[in-house]
């Protein structure tokens, strides 16, 4: 079964270092909390708000062992007025036996406000 594993975080600055570091932290949490192996990942979509454009956040995934061939695509979020700024969001499509309610979605830093209904890690 393919499940969507979601996550989001905010970056402290629009720099390559801040974007890659925050994304790496988010992906690390998603992998660890959901016990994700790279060969079980069908694809990863990463979006950023308009104010995050100094680097591709997908660069962070290439730091993980065996993630070389995982398809990753970066895109821009819809610029909704008054929405959270400096935000990186991830949708990971993972083959897993976990029931939907056991998938752990991760919201870090300022992005915790996006899903207050979910148990925060």
Is 62 within the bounds of a domain?
yes
Q: Is 107 a catalytic residue?
A: yes
CB 59 within 8 A of CB 20: yes
Is 37 within the bounds of a domain?
yes
Whole-model pTM?
A: 0.95
Total number of domains constituting the chain:
1
Is 55 within the bounds of a domain?
yes
User: Average pLDDT, whole number, for the chain?
Assistant: 96
**Banded pLDDT at 120 (limits 50, 70, 90):** low
Calculate what percentage of the chain has a pLDDT beyond 90.
95
Q: Is 62 a catalytic residue?
A: yes
Query: SS3 of 95, please?
Result: strand
Q: Is 89 a catalytic residue?
A: yes
Strands (DSSP E) along 1-121, which ranges? 2-10, 41-48, 72-76, 87-95, 106-107
**Which of the residues 3, 24, 25, 74 is marked catalytic?**
74
Residue 20 sits in a domain whose CATH number is 3.30.1330.40
Is 23 within the bounds of a domain?
yes
Instruction: Answer whether residue 121 shows pLDDT above 60.
Output: no
pLDDT per position as a tens digit, 50-102: 999 999 999 999 999 999 999 999 999 999 999 999 999 999 999 999 999 99
Q: Is 69 a catalytic residue?
A: no
pLDDT recorded at residue 81 = 96
Is 120 within the bounds of a domain?
no
What is the domain range of residue 70? Answer: 2-111
Rounded Cα gap, residues 34 and 52, in angstroms: 27
């Amino acid at each position: 079964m393919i499940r969507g594993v979601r996550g989001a975080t905010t970056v402290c600055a629009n720099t390559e270092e801040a974007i890659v570091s925050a994304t790496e932290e988010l992906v690390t949490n998603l992998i660890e909390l959901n016990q994700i192996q790279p060969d079980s990942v069908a694809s990863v979509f990463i979006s950023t708000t308009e104010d995050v454009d100094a680097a591709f956040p997908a660069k962070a995934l290439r730091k993980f062992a065996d993630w070389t061939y995982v398809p990753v695509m970066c895109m821009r979020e819809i610029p909704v007025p008054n929405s959270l700024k400096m935000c990186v969001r991830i949708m990971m499509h993972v083959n897993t036996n976990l029931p939907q309610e056991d998938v752990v979605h991760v919201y870090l830093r300022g992005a915790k406000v996006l899903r207050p209904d979910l148990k925060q890690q």
